[in-house]
C-alpha cells in the first residue's frame, strides 16, 4: 500500500513492464519434427535440431514405428517408445499432435520427458515422467478418456484429469506439457487440463524427451516440438525490483530536496 501510494504511475508502469518482460522471455525451439518425408521403416532424425530418434520396443520389426503419410506411425500391440538421442533438458515445453487411428484395441499414447534413458517405452522400466492419454485402458483406477501423469508408472498418478470429450478415431488432438522446475502443466488442444507440483528428490533434473504408446494398434503422431522454458522470476525477485525502483526514486527526490 505504501509503495502504491507513493510511487508515480510512470514508475508503476516501468515496474510492471519489466516484470512482464522477465516472465515472458521467449523460449527457443530445441528440436522439432513434422515427419514430412518419404515413408520409411525408421523415423530418422529431427529436421530441426538434428536429433536421432531411438526407437524402442517392437521397433526392430519393420513398420512397427515408421514414417507413414508424413506422420510418425506406431503400430504395435506392446509397449513402444521413440526418444530423441542427445537432447537432455529439464525445463521444457513438449508438444505433439496425436491421432487415435484405430478403435477398441488402442489403449495409451502420449509423451515422455525427463527420462533417465533413451531406451524408454510406456512400460515403466525407466525413470521419468509419463504423460498418458488413456483411450481404452485401466490402470490403478486410471480409466478411459482421461489423462494422467505418472513417475515411472509407479504408485498413484501425480495428477489425473478427464478429457473434455472422448477422442474420436481419426481426429487429431494436441497434447502439451510444460515442466518448469517442480511445476508441471498439461494442456489438451491448447487448454490447460491439469497441473501438479512434484518436489520429490531426483526428479527436477534434465532428461530425455519422446513419444510412447502401450497396446496401441495404430497411433499417429505429428508436429512434435520441444522448446526450452525460461524459468519465471521468483516473486521475491519482482518485489526486489519494485523496491529498487522505489528506492531509486526516493534517492533522487532526497537529492532534489
Give contact residues for Ca ion (rule: CB under 5 A): 34-36, 70, 222
Distance CA 22, CA 38 (A): 42
CB of 224 to Ca ion, least distance (A): 9
Q: Do 241 and 18 meet the contact criterion of CB atoms below 8 Å apart?
A: yes
Grid coordinates 505418472 are at which residue? 150
User: Nearest to Ca ion by Cβ — which residue?
Assistant: 70
36 or 192, CB closer to Ca ion?
Answer: 36
Q: How far is the CB of 133 from Ca ion (least distance, A)?
A: 19
The residue (of 6 and 37) whose beta carbon lies closer to Ca ion is 37
Nearer to Ca ion, 17 or 171 (CB): 171
Question: What's the closest the beta carbon of residue 69 comes to Ca ion, in angstroms?
Answer: 8
CB of 211 to Ca ion, least distance (A): 14
Q: Which is nearer to Ca ion, 70 or 192 (CB)?
A: 70
Least gap, CB of 80 to Ca ion (angstroms): 19
Shortest separation between residue 147's beta carbon and Ca ion, angstroms: 23
Nearer to Ca ion, 129 or 224 (CB): 224
Instruction: For residue 246, give the C-alpha cell.
Output: 522505489
Shortest separation between residue 39's beta carbon and Ca ion, angstroms:
12
Residue 24 CA to its chain's centroid (Å):
17
List Cα–Cα distances, 90 to 136, 156, 212, in angstroms: 30, 23, 19
Q: How far is CA 233 from the centre of its chain?
A: 20
Q: Between 111 and 120, name the residue whose CB sits nearer to Ca ion.
A: 111
Residue number with CB closer to Ca ion (32 or 136): 32
Q: Are 167 and 100 in contact (CB under 8 A)?
A: yes
Cα 39 to the chain's mean position, in Å?
A: 27
Amino acid at each position: 500500500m505504501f509503495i502504491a501510494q507513493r510511487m508515480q504511475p510512470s514508475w508503476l508502469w516501468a515496474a510492471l513492464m519489466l516484470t512482464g518482460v522477465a516472465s515472458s522471455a521467449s523460449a527457443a525451439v530445441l528440436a522439432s519434427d513434422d515427419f514430412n518425408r518419404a515413408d520409411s521403416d525408421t523415423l530418422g532424425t529431427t529436421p530441426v535440431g538434428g536429433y536421432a530418434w531411438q526407437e524402442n520396443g517392437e521397433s526392430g520389426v519393420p513398420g512397427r514405428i515408421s514414417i507413414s503419410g508424413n506422420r510418425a506411425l506406431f503400430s504395435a500391440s506392446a509397449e513402444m517408445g521413440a526418444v530423441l538421442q542427445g537432447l537432455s533438458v529439464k525445463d521444457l515445453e513438449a508438444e505433439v499432435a496425436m491421432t487415435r487411428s484405430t478403435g477398441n484395441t488402442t489403449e495409451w499414447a502420449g509423451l515422455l520427458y525427463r527420462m533417465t534413458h533413451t531406451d524408454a517405452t510406456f512400460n515403466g522400466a525407466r525413470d521419468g515422467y509419463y504423460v498418458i492419454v488413456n483411450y481404452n485402458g485401466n490402470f490403478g483406477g486410471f480409466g478411459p478418456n482421461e489423462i494422467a501423469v505418472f513417475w515411472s508408472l509407479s504408485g498413484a498418478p501425480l495428477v489425473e484429469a478427464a478429457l473434455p470429450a472422448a477422442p474420436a478415431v481419426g481426429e487429431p488432438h494436441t497434447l502439451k506439457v510444460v515442466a518448469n522446475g517442480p511445476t508441471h502443466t498439461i494442456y489438451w488442444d491448447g487448454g490447460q487440463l491439469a497441473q501438479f507440483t512434484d518436489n520429490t528428490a531426483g526428479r527436477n533434473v534434465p532428461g530425455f524427451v519422446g513419444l510412447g504408446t502401450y497396446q496401441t494398434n495404430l497411433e499417429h503422431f505429428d508436429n512434435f516440438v520441444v522448446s526450452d522454458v525460461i524459468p519465471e522470476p521468483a516473486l521475491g525477485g519482482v518485489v526486489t525490483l519494485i523496491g529498487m525502483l522505489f528506492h531509486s526514486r526516493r534517492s533522487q527526490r532526497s537529492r532534489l530536496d
